[in-house]
Structure 1
Amino acid sequence: MKSFILACAVLVMYACSPFKKVTVQVTPQSLRLIDVYDIPYQFSFRETTVGGLSGIDYDHKQQIFYTISDDRSSLQPARFYSMKILFNDQQIDTVLFQQVVTLKQPNGQPYPSSKENPQQTPDPEAIRYDPIQKQLIWTSEGERIVTAKDTVIADPSIHLVDKTGKYIRSLSLPDNLRMSAMEKGPRRNGVVEGATFANNYQTLFVSLEEPRYEDGPQAALEPNDAWVRLYQFNMAYGKAVAQYAYKLDPVAYAPNPAGSFMVNGIPDIMDIGNNRLLVMERSFSTGRLACTIKIFMVDLNGAEDISAVKSLKNAPPQKPLRKKLLLNLDELGIYTDNVEGMCLGPRLKNGKRSLWMIADNNFSPLERSQLFLFEVNESL
């Protein structure tokens, strides 16, 4: 068994920081699965429950991985972990959790649970590390509960923190990312799921998981106009500077019983240089515990900026993002759970790059916190 501010101040900070050339350029042609590792259910580390792992990133200098939990301060305060992973070209040998870091609010306090203050309760999803500023960025989906008994509306958010979890600043969100009690804006649990730095950490791309109400229907069993938005942020100014349209694939399998819950959306994105991204789509249908995970190569070159378009239902994009399927994990013949995060890791001993994915077990005994290791085969 395997082991176990001001805007000016921010602008000056970036302008005075020498941008080291750390941008990654990758041209993946295919991905080869090396190994899958299961972090045990209810694994405890420093009095916290390791689970709900929704994002992953790698610090090449310190040779550690960061992973964020989507615990909404319910079991323990919202947090992320650092871990060392020992592996070779054949297997993942050992996962060593090193630190657990509590995410802090601007007032320096941990985030409250929904029982304490639902307006301030986060829903952590993505995490990325900036080695130039030595900071991390993380996203929260916010909340949208509209029932006869209660209404809770909390906007999504994108925060920068230091390695101790101390709040630094937040990015300014465009108005079309504001939650509403009416059926407008983002859907619940379908907001800022994926994030990736680009352009030598001067740019941040953030993806919605599902279409906004104005942009289209949710993905269905047949192809439809399920348009989601990707947002491009300028990190120096902390504001969105462009938006792009991306069409989701249909849901992979019919739910059982018919008419029950099903979904397909984007849980993560990753920059690979040359104005291209890897985009992960995850499909789930009731009656089938496994998820269908697809990895697409997406080209931003030539795509139109749809920032001024209020509704993609009324004005479908003429130049959306172009995507090409790189891998459908169903083809591997293995069980794939609720995979939500991916990142490039260190090179393998054979010189090829490693790609890592992590699954969110939703703190359920029926699901797995899986860690996937892939070899990236690149074109010349």
Structure 2
Amino acid sequence: MLKIFLLLFVFINLVACGTVSQAQAQERLFPKVSVDFLDRYRLPKQTFKQTPVGGLSGLTYNQRDNLFYAISDDRSQYAPARFYTLDLNFKETKIENITVKDVTFFKTETGDFFPKGEIDSEGIAFAPGNTVFISSEGDTKKNINPFVSRFDISTGKRKQNLPLPQRFLLPETAEESAKGVRNNLGFESLTLNPSGVLSPEGDPFRVFTATESSLTQDKLPPESEQQTRVRFLHYVVNPIGQPLPIAEHLYLLDEPPLGTIKTGLTEMLAIKPEGYFLSLERSYGLSGYTAKLFLVTVGNATDTSGVDTFNVNLGNLQPLRKKLLFDFSTLNFDIYNLEGLAVGTRLSDGSQSLLVISDDNFNEKEVTQVLLFRLIS
């Protein structure tokens, strides 16, 4: 009996030591970052300058002018493809009001509106030189490729394209193997390195984007129990020459809740220059919407830019590491189609604000929901 107690004692201590070691390892890997929920706000359904304000799938903050830009994923069906300028005011740690101040229509290099269906704008990131980067998912049904481009805020005209590796693009011929983004699952996330947002015009900066779900060639078989593989791209934009993709990493989606119909990575937000991000994963199923917020680090992740396809066995590939920060299912109210993240101005208590916005899908039964958090980092 004494031997049994001794063995049990040793086993418990080994487990405890292992748990402590894992916790210590995680502390070394991740900085101390946390979020506290503060408030929610519902943007009323409205029309602004003959456009329906809806489908807001991305949010970014212009610190210089204390304004936000929210992109609409309208494929020029209700009005030309566009983004809105929002004025957001806090009262203490609450959202007092959000006012639509302006709308900017995206235009081609020649100053024309994008034809209907040719742009599915999902992500937006404020950039130096009074510009924004936007990401478009494309449309596989119409053989339209995705893109990530830079637009002038004042004119709405496209100024620059980020070169996409061929693996993200659709096949050019019938003989070519199936590849590229899948329909409505293309580039959803878009962010700049925090120091890049504030860089003087002419300084190099970094841009990051990711697909919502796996590429066609990376899709796992239906019976697989492995995590969905998402590709995360890292660019450097220089004042001279073309932007350069300098790295690519593997992001693994969390296991979705039971009854999920659709799940994906809807946003990533760079929060520290050393390679730390917030990621937003959103699921939709029989019980409605759910979402989770993670802290992500690039440290020690394998550069997968030379990997054309991901098979079931990842081998020695090291994906991006992530840590759960907040599960939106813990809130005592319904959440909607959360798709955008933005760090905003500081609150009255000096803490950093973090905003999460939902896409109402131009559906009368859904709402544009803005959630306010305190970001502690």
The code of the aligned residue for 1:159 comes to S
- Quote how far apart the aligned CAs of 1:275 are: 1.0
- Quote how far apart the aligned CAs of 1:36 are: 1.1
* C-alpha contact (below 8 Å) 2:122/2:187 kept by paired residues: yes
* C-alpha contact (below 8 Å) 1:296/1:325 kept by paired residues: yes
d(CA) in 1 for partners of 2:50, 2:299: 47
1:41-83, Cα deviation, whole Å (9 max, x unpaired): 3x11111100000100111110101000000000000000101
- Quote how far apart the aligned CAs of 1:27 are: 5.5
d(CA) in 1 for partners of 2:190, 2:69: 14
Which residue is 1:128 aligned to?
125
d(CA) in 2 for partners of 1:111, 1:322: 38
- Quote how far apart the aligned CAs of 1:315 are: 5.7
Which residue is 2:92 aligned to?
89
* C-alpha contact (below 8 Å) 1:173/1:239 kept by paired residues: no
Q: Which of 281, 284, 291 lines up with 1:293 in the alignment? A: 291
Residues 28 and 347 of structure 1: CA distance in aligned 2, closer, same or farther (over 3 Å):
farther
Is residue 39 from structure 1 mapped to residue 30 from structure 2 by the alignment? no
Residues 219 and 288 of structure 1: CA distance in aligned 2, closer, same or farther (over 3 Å):
farther
1:18-42, Cα deviation, whole Å (9 max, x unpaired): xxxxxxxx9563211111111123x
d(CA) in 1 for partners of 2:222, 2:250: 14
1:235-276, Cα deviation, whole Å (9 max, x unpaired): 123131111001111222315xxxxxx121111100011211
Residues 173 and 53 of structure 1: CA distance in aligned 2, closer, same or farther (over 3 Å):
same
Structure 2 runs not aligned, ≥5 long:
1-29, 197-204
* C-alpha contact (below 8 Å) 2:194/2:271 kept by paired residues: no
Structure with higher helix content: 2
- Quote how far apart the aligned CAs of 1:310 are: 1.0
Q: Which of 206, 210, 223 lines up with 1:207 in the alignment? A: 210
* C-alpha contact (below 8 Å) 1:219/1:248 kept by paired residues: no
Query: Among the aligned pairs, what percent are the same residue?
Result: 30
Which residue is 1:74 aligned to?
77
Divergent runs of 4+, >3 A: 180-183
Which residue is 1:23 aligned to?
none
Residues 199 and 88 of structure 1: CA distance in aligned 2, closer, same or farther (over 3 Å):
closer
Structure 1 runs not aligned, ≥5 long:
1-25, 115-120, 146-151, 256-261
3-state SS of 1:214 partner: helix
* C-alpha contact (below 8 Å) 1:292/1:329 kept by paired residues: yes
Which residue is 1:304 aligned to?
302
Q: Which has the larger radius of gyration?
A: 2
Which residue is 1:166 aligned to?
157
The code of the aligned residue for 2:358 comes to A
Residues 219 and 209 of structure 1: CA distance in aligned 2, closer, same or farther (over 3 Å):
farther
- Quote how far apart the aligned CAs of 1:298 are: 0.7
Which residue is 2:375 aligned to?
376
Q: Name whichever of 81-90 and 175-184 sits farther off.
A: 175-184
Which residue is 1:111 aligned to?
114
Q: Normalised by the size of structure 1, how large is the TM-score?
A: 0.83
Q: Which of 243, 249, 252 lines up with 1:247 in the alignment? A: 252
